[in-house]
Amino acid sequence: MPDIGAILLWILAIAVVIFVITVLVQAIRIVPQSEAFIIERLGRYHRTLYGGPHLLMPIIDRTRARVDLREQVVSFPPQQVITEDNLSVAVDVVVYFRVTDPRAATYEIANYLGAVEQLSITTLRNVVGGLNLEEALVSRDLINGKLSATLDEATGQWGIKVGRVEIKAIDPPATLRDAMEKQMRAERDRRAAILTAEGQKQSQILVAEGARQAEILKAEGDKQAQVLRAQGESEAIQNVFNAIHAGAPDDKLLAYQYLQTLPKLAESQSSKLWIIPSELTEALKGIAGGFGRGTTPSDRP
C-alpha cells in the first residue's frame, strides 16, 4: 500500500514547481522591437517597456496595452464635401501617422484610430469647404499641407505624430465632369487652332522673306552682270580704237568698215531708227572721189 505522506509530498512539490514556473512566466516579458508595452502596478501606470527582455514583479505588475510603434496608414471611405461654390465632391484621403508616446496614446484617448479618422474627416470638410471647385482640383498640395498641419497639432496631445496626408481622388458629380471634359476639349481645340495659325503665319513669313532675299540676290546678280558686260564692251571698244589708230587707217578703210557694219545694224529687230555718223558721210565722199578719180573722160557718157 503506497505511503499517503509521500504522495502528498509529491503533489506539493509539483504544485510548487508549477507555481514557480507561472511566476517566472509572469515575471519575464520579451517585447518585440516594433511594439511598446504599457505596464501597470496595482492598477496604476508604472512604466513603458520597449524592445527586448524585461523583468516584472509577479502578480502586482500586469501589461495594460501593447502599442504598435510603426507608421500606420489609415484610408477612409470617400467623403462627400461641399465646396465654397456649393458643389458636392467626393474626396478620398489617406493619413500616415505613428505613435510617438505610447503612454499618451493609451491613457489620453480611448481609441486613437477612430479619433484620427473622425478628426481627419472634420478637418477635410473645413479645408475643402473654404475652396471653390477649381481651387480644390488644382490645389491638392495646399490641401494636404493644411490637413497635415491641423491633424498634427490636434493629435500631438494623444502622443501621435501625423507624417503626411494624401488626397487620393477628388471626384465632382458626373454631370459636372461631363461639362468639364467638354470645356477642356474646347480649350485644347482652341490651343491647337492657335498653334496651327501661328505655324502658318511663320511659314508665310519665311516664304516671303525667302522670296525677298531671292529677288535681292537676283537683282544684285543682274547688276553685276551688266557692270561686267559694260566693262567688257568698254575694254573691247578701247582695244578696237587703239588697234585702228595704231594702224593709221585712211578714209577709204573707215568707210569700208562702216559699210560692213550697216547690215548688222539692220539685223536687229529692235532697231527702229538708224543713226549714221557724220564720219560715214565724209568717208563716202572720199570713196566717191576715189572712184571718180579712177575713171577717164572717155568712159564718161
Residues 81, 133: Cα–Cα separation, whole Å: 11
Distance CA 11, CA 8 (A): 5
What distance in Å separates the CA atoms of residue 291 and residue 251, rounded to the nearest whole number?
Answer: 13
- Least reliable range by pLDDT among 178-187, 207-216, 253-262: 253-262
* 118: confidence class by pLDDT, cuts 50, 70, 90: confident
Q: What is the pLDDT of residue 75?
A: 83
Higher pLDDT, 300 or 183: 183
Query: Which residue would you say has higher pLDDT here, 242 or 20?
Result: 20
CA distances for 150 relative to 53, 116, 125, 243, angstroms: 38, 11, 12, 110
* 23-58 exposure pattern, b = at least 16 Cβ within 10 A, e = fewer: eeebeebebeeebbbbbbeeeeebebbeeeebebee
9's CB contacts (< 8 A; 6+ apart) are none
Whole-number pLDDT of residue 27: 83
Q: What dotted CATH number matches 72-172?
A: 3.30.479.30
**CA angle, residues 192, 197, 200, in degrees to nearest 5:** 125
Sheet holding 61-68, edge to edge: 44-49, 35-41, 61-68
Tell me the pLDDT band of 171, cut-offs 50, 70 and 90.
confident
| Ranges of CATH 3.30.479.30 domains, the chain | 72-172
- What average pLDDT does this structure show over 1-8? 70
Which amino acid belongs to residue 143?
A: I
Residue 268 has pLDDT above 70, yes or no: no
Residue 38 pLDDT greater than 90, yes or no:
yes
